[in-house]
Amino acid sequence: MQQVSIIGLGLIGASIGLGLRRWATDDGKRPPVIELTGFDIDLTHQSYAKKIKAVDRTEWNLRGAIERADFIIIATPVGAVREVFEIIAEYGRQGVVVTDTCSTKAAVLAWAREVLPASVHFVGGHPMAGKTQSVEGAEANLFQGATWCVTPLVSASDEAVQTVLGMIAALGAEPLFIDAEEHDSYVAGISHLPFLLSVALMRVVSQDPSWRDMRKLTASGFRDATRLAGGSPEMHRDICATNSANIVRWLDTALAELHHLRDLIAAGNEETLATLQQAFEQARDVRADWATQERRPGELVQDTASELANISFGQQMQQLFFGNFLRRPRPGMREPREEGRDKHPPTRR
């Protein structure tokens, strides 16, 4: 029986445990082929993970979770990874396979090269899935259909890479081999920047003297835009520490775009408002293209089916192929309004 240790039993670690346990006992006709050991510095996480059967057993110290393992999955914040590597280097088995789930990869691979001996085979990883919840949100299906980035050390054996790919397949995810530096540049834009924009929005409005009254008016738009601000402060602090150059570059680009939109709004003349509308239309159309991309025929890459359910097929095709062209009024014509509508109907966001 293969001994698998999961270091870090938050949302990702516990979900990996649940997914692997389901895979290992799926047919119910054979004994499990793996034993899952869990460790977390938060004992409440350990207890909860064992209660929901994300792991078979837990260890009270990191050494105990490492020295018996054939396969180690590090699901801690990135700031703790180097210390885990040092314990693995001292107590890990000969030939042990190690992977991680951290949101930044270049720093992790640099630490692996520096700290881990040649007898340890490291294959970096990052599942592009998650929630703002911790272990209480763990589920076996968390990675179903998700992209799982794979960044092996050059020294990792083919068997180690296959072990990690087997785990990814067991969890229902799709592997993507990617360079660590390239990975960090991309996720800074699509993951780390959205978190920081969410934090900025939450801080800006909540620090206004009118926040106590404003929050009574909040609806789904505000909820969706600030959801990421509910994520782990410690995890995102470590992400910023290990991917600062890429994050700063994306922040500078975002600030320039915000200043551009701000200037268009401040000018408020016919020309700038037309440019502003074009910016809104371009963003809408690019998002529509993103939301309807398919991994396979009929299978959306993104979880956007609920958004598209309220849009007719014809509208989807019009938006995809013609953008807003068919809805633009001809020169000299006014856009039609439905009878009975106010000239300036109130909107709620």
Q: Please name the residues in contact with 45: beta carbons below 8 A apart, sequence gap of 6 or more.
A: 9, 10, 14, 134, 135
- pLDDT-derived band at 256 (thresholds 50, 70, 90) equals very high
Q: Which residue has the tokens 């690019």?
A: 286
Residues 3/68, Cβ–Cβ less than 8 Å: yes
**Residue 111 pLDDT > 80:** yes
Q: What is the pLDDT of residues 12-40, one digit of tens each?
A: 999 999 999 999 987 555 667 899 999 99
**Residue 145 pLDDT > 80:** yes
* Residue 134: per-residue pLDDT: 84
* Residue 334: per-residue pLDDT: 42
* Residue 52: per-residue pLDDT: 95
* Residue 147: per-residue pLDDT: 96
Mean pLDDT of the chain: 88
Pick the range with the lowest mean pLDDT from 79-93, 168-182, 195-209, 284-298: 284-298
* Residue 316: per-residue pLDDT: 52
What are the structural domains of the chain?
Answer: 2-178 (3.40.50.720), 183-327 (1.10.3660.10)
Q: Please name the residues in contact with 304: beta carbons below 8 A apart, sequence gap of 6 or more.
A: 291, 292
Pick the range with the lowest mean pLDDT from 107-116, 155-164, 240-249, 298-307: 298-307
